[in-house]
């Protein structure tokens, strides 16, 4: 949510193309508006426009400056518009901000009483105005004074024409510094710096930094100079390209097999630490948001079935405010692709403060969640650009499967783990053969799509529903198949499609009942299944999407591919851009 990028180079250099390219790579964090400010010979020049980053292109041709900062916005306070776009300017001060300033109303009122005027509806402009008032010749001094007045979260970059520097501050929103050949960078995330620098430092909460062409001076919250470890930048330009696919969603769906395979390989590096962390565990709480939470629903089943440990799954936003009972022996497993989702990070912090051990399951080894956790189970999905999660979800399921086996005392070379080793090939086969075209057509014409399943199929039904509504905007719900007759049946009509996922032979008959109930009410029905009898029963009456047969605990991986493909095909039929769903951003670092 909101991406920021900055660059400072030596005499005669031009930082503008670098920050523009950086913004394009950060667009998954928001695409409501974009803007760039550069210190040029004439002072500070600002270009900002509503819409995607590309809209800036015609306006930055002649823009040149040794210092530039840039922003791509996911609107929270104030509608998407040119005026609400960043950078915000006050006096000669230019600022970009990612985060939310919770006390901005009271600050704005106070500043207005004192004669300040505001152009935008944003919380961020208040910081620019405060900064201008606090500035008397030192960017760092003004920044320190300014952030003392702020409540909330921020990653900030500030420039002015008087100083050949970029001042930055970070609190609860991510910020990294990148060390280029002849320039220094700053950005929300590694992809912005792909191909620009091979080493980065991750700033900690409360850090300030002053960037010059020669390097970065970093200070902690008590203003003591600190060194933040230089680490490799894992983002590689080639991996961030579309690679011939029309959309990132489709490309990343095709990377599901690699995600499962690489997550499997990476697990051996943490297996012993996992066993140690879970030793003596009496209760597990799995938490996360959105798709990550849905992976957690699958994980709950693994921990209970393989290891016999009572496990709850709760969305991170609910967990935080539910007064969770954490007793000796509780392990909280926090799942997040980005590792920066505010609710998940705060849930982990709360769990730690109450004495639980926290295990992170994430794609992002430098993230806030990784830094908090006692141990991280790596999800080796690679960079995921599409806002809709695909390969990170299947990677998370693989990571949870292996973690649960380790807790159960089964090693990664055991029989059950070997079944996971077969899954990359099976997922690849599913991607190649699954045919959702006709079902996507039915969904695209429908007024609502209901996903159902029992046990693990229910968990995938929740994810299928989220994916479909996220990228196609069709109203959808995912619920346990047994619940149909307790309410949702009232919504079934010829204009609705019910998709029943059936991958467990033992539960197939019961789930087929749900299909019959839908058909009896003249609803359209489909099954996504690998059970032969289901196909025989329903042929000609319901749409059938066939999956390859596999172990019931691993069927969610193949079924996930089918529901992801269904969401993708439906979105494309409706001419929606699945990579940039309206109103959404990939990494939600505010509450
Ligand atoms: C998934 O398609 C969504 N974009 C969303 O639900 C996402 O999974 C959620 O915001 C959590 O993100 P995280 O995994 O980075 O924490």
Decide if 427 is inside a domain.
Answer: no
d(CA 79, CA 321): 29
pLDDT for 234:
87
Whether residues 209 and 260 share a domain: the answer is no
* Sign, Cα dihedral of 169, 171, 174, 176: positive
Helix (H, G, I), strand (E, B) or coil at 34: strand
How many alpha carbons fall within 13 Å on the CB side of residue 136?
Answer: 3
Whether residues 304 and 217 share a domain: the answer is no
For residue 1, pLDDT beyond 80: no
Q: How sure is the predictor about 41, in pLDDT bands with cuts at 50, 70 and 90?
A: confident
Q: Is the CB of 337 under 6 A from ligand 1?
A: yes
Whether residues 193 and 294 share a domain: the answer is no
Query: Which residue intervals of 241-331 are DSSP H helices?
Result: 248-254, 256-267, 271-278, 290-307, 316-320
Q: Of 300, 391, 524, 586, which one is the catalytic site residue?
A: 586
d(CA 475, CA 496): 10
Decide if 231 is inside a domain.
Answer: yes
pLDDT in tens, 496-516: 999 999 999 999 999 999 999
Whether residues 133 and 12 share a domain: the answer is yes
Strands 496-502 and 524-529: parallel
Whether residues 376 and 506 share a domain: the answer is no
d(CA 384, CA 364): 11
* Å from CA of 390 to ligand 1 middle: 10
Task: Give how far the C-alpha of residue 282 lies from the chain's centroid of Cα atoms, to the nearest Å.
Answer: 30
pLDDT for 43:
87
pLDDT for 414:
87
pLDDT in tens, 294-337: 999 999 999 999 999 999 999 999 999 998 899 999 999 999 99
Least confident of 26-30, 377-381, 470-474, 499-503: 26-30
pLDDT for 510:
93
Q: In this prediction, what percent of the chain has a pLDDT beyond 90?
A: 90
Decide if 163 is inside a domain.
Answer: yes
pLDDT for 586:
84
* Å from CA of 536 to ligand 1 middle: 37
Given 237, 263, 291, which residue is the final one in a domain?
Answer: 237
pLDDT for 144:
93
Q: Is the CB of 362 under 6 A from ligand 1?
A: no
For residue 444, pLDDT beyond 90: yes
Residue 172 DSSP code: B
Whether residues 364 and 454 share a domain: the answer is no
Q: What angle do CA 522, 525, 528 make, to 5 degrees?
A: 170
3-state helix, strand, coil in the chain (%, to 5): 40, 25, 35
pLDDT for 209:
97
Report the CATH number at residue 168. 3.60.20.10
* Å from CA of 392 to ligand 1 middle: 9
Query: Are the C-beta atoms of 586 and 490 separated by less than 8 Å?
Result: no
Q: Is the CB of 389 under 6 A from ligand 1?
A: yes
For residue 463, pLDDT beyond 90: yes
- Annotation says 447 is catalytic: no
pLDDT in tens, 58-90: 999 889 999 999 999 998 889 999 999 999 999
The DSSP line for 436-480 is -HHHHHHHHH-SEEEEEESTHHHHHHHHHHHHHHHHH---EEEEE
Whether residues 17 and 166 share a domain: the answer is yes
Region of 558 on the Ramachandran plot (φ > 0 left; ψ -120 to 50 alpha; else beta): alpha
The DSSP line for 122-141 is -SHHHHHHHHHHH-SS-HHH
Whether residues 441 and 572 share a domain: the answer is yes
For residue 591, pLDDT beyond 80: no
- Annotation says 2 is catalytic: yes
Q: Of 2, 186, 197, 427, which one is the catalytic site residue?
A: 2
Q: Is the CB of 289 under 6 A from ligand 1?
A: yes
Q: Give the count of beta carbons closer than 10 Å to the beta carbon of residue 551.
A: 14
Whether residues 413 and 498 share a domain: the answer is no
Report the CATH number at residue 264. 3.40.50.10490
Query: Are the C-beta atoms of 8 and 184 separated by less than 8 Å?
Result: yes
pLDDT in tens, 243-298: 999 999 999 999 999 999 999 999 999 999 999 999 999 999 999 999 999 999 99
In angstroms, the first-to-last Cα distance of the chain is: 11
Query: Are the C-beta atoms of 372 and 349 separated by less than 8 Å?
Result: yes
Helix (H, G, I), strand (E, B) or coil at 95: strand
Q: Is the CB of 140 under 6 A from ligand 1?
A: no
Q: What's the whole-number mean pLDDT along residues 378-401? A: 97
pLDDT for 235:
84
pLDDT for 558:
97
Q: Is the CB of 344 under 6 A from ligand 1?
A: yes
Decide if 426 is inside a domain.
Answer: no
Decide if 478 is inside a domain.
Answer: yes
pLDDT for 281:
97
pLDDT for 239:
78
d(CA 215, CA 204): 18
Q: What angle do CA 403, 406, 409 make, to 5 degrees?
A: 155
Given 393, 421, 449, which residue is the final one in a domain?
Answer: 421
Decide if 141 is inside a domain.
Answer: yes
Decide if 67 is inside a domain.
Answer: yes
Given 400, 421, 442, which residue is the final one in a domain?
Answer: 421
d(CA 528, CA 500): 6
Radius of gyration of the chain (CA): 25
d(CA 214, CA 179): 10
Which of 55, 63, 52 lies closest to 14 in space, CA to CA?
63
Whether residues 416 and 452 share a domain: the answer is no
pLDDT in tens, 567-586: 999 999 999 999 999 989 88
- What atom in ligand 1 is closest to the CA of residue 588? 10
pLDDT in tens, 137-186: 999 999 999 999 999 999 999 999 899 999 999 999 999 999 999 999 99
For 42-100, the three-class secondary structure string (H helix, E strand, C coil) is CEEEEEEEECCHHHHHHHCCCCCCCEEEEEEECCCCCCCCCCCCCCEEECCEEEEEECC
* Å from CA of 224 to ligand 1 middle: 36
For residue 519, pLDDT beyond 80: yes
- Quote the number of domains for the chain: 3
Whether residues 579 and 487 share a domain: the answer is yes
pLDDT for 588:
82
Query: What is the span of the domain harbouring residue 77?
Result: 3-237
Mean pLDDT of the chain: 95
Task: Give how far the C-alpha of residue 584 lies from the chain's centroid of Cα atoms, to the nearest Å.
Answer: 10
Decide if 412 is inside a domain.
Answer: yes
Whether residues 41 and 167 share a domain: the answer is yes
Give whole-number Cα distances, 119 to 85, 125, 350, in Å. 11, 8, 38
For residue 11, pLDDT beyond 90: no
Query: Are the C-beta atoms of 194 and 25 separated by less than 8 Å?
Result: yes
Q: How sure is the predictor about 378, in pLDDT bands with cuts at 50, 70 and 90?
A: very high
């Amino acid at each position: 949510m909101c991406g920021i990028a900055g660059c400072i180079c030596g005499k005669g250099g031009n930082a503008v193309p670098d920050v523009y390219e950086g913004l394009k790579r950060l667009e998954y964090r928001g695409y409501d508006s974009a803007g760039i400010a550069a210190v040029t010979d004439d002072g500070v020049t600002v270009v900002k426009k509503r819409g995607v980053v590309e809209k800036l292109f015609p306006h930055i041709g002649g823009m040149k400056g040794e210092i530039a900062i840039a922003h791509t916005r996911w609107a929270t306070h104030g509608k998407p518009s040119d005026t609400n776009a960043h950078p915000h300017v006050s006096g000669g001060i230019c600022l970009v901000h990612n985060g939310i300033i919770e006390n901005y109303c009271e600050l704005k009122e106070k500043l207005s009483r004192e004669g300040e005027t505001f152009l935008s509806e944003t919380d961020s402009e208040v910081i620019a105005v405060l900064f201008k008032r606090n500035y008397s010749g030192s960017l760092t001094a003004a920044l320190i004074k300014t952030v003392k007045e702020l409540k909330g979260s921020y990653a900030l970059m500030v420039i002015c024409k008087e100083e050949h520097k970029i001042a930055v501050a970070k609190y609860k929103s991510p910020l990294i510094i990148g060390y280029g050949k002849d320039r220094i960078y700053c950005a929300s995330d590694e992809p912005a710096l792909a191909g620009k620098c091979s080493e980065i430092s991750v700033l900690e909460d409360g850090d300030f930094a002053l960037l010059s062409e020669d390097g970065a001076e970093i200070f902690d919250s008590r203003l003591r100079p600190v060194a933040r470890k230089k680490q490799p930048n894992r983002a590689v330009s080639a991996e961030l390209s579309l690679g011939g696919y029309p959309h990132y969603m489709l490309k990343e769906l095709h990377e599901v097999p690699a995600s499962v395979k690489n997550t499997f390989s990476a697990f051996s590096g943490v297996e012993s630490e996992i066993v140690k962390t879970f030793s003596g565990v009496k209760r597990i709480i799995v938490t996360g948001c959105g798709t990550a939470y849905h992976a957690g629903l699958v994980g709950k089943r693994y921990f209970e079935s393989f290891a016999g440990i009572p496990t709850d799954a709760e969305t991170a936003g609910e967990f935080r405010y539910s007064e969770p009972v954490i007793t000796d022996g509780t392990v909280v497993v926090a799942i997040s692709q980005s590792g920066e989702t505010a609710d998940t990070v705060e849930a982990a912090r709360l769990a730690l403060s109450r004495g639980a051990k926290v295990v992170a399951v994430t794609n992002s080894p430098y993230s806030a969640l990784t830094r908090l956790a006692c141990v991280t189970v790596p999800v080796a999905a690679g960079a995921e650009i599409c806002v809709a999660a695909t390969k990170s979800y299947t990677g998370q399921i693989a990571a949870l499967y292996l973690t649960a086996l380790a807790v159960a005392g089964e090693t990664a070379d055991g029989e059950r783990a070997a079944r996971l080793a077969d899954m990359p090939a099976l997922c690849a086969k599913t991607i190649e053969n699954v045919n959702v075209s006709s079902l996507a057509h039915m969904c695209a014409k429908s007024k609502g799509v209901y996903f159902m399943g029992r046990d693990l199929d229910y968990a995938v039904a929740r994810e299928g529903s989220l994916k479909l509504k996220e990228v196609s905007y069709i109203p959808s719900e995912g619920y346990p198949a047994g619940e149909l007759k307790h309410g949702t049946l009232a919504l079934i009509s010829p204009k609705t499609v019910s998709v029943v996922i059936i991958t467990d032979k033992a539960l197939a008959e019961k789930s087929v009942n749900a299909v019959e109930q839908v058909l009896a009410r003249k609803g359209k029905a489909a099954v996504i299944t690998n059970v032969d009898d289901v196909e025989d029963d329903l042929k000609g009456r319901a749409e059938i999407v066939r999956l390859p047969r596999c172990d019931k605990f691993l069927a969610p991986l193949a079924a996930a591919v089918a529901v992801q493909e269904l969401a993708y095909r439906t979105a494309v039929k409706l001419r929606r851009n699945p990579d940039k769903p309206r109103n959404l951003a990939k990494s939600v670092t505010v509450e």
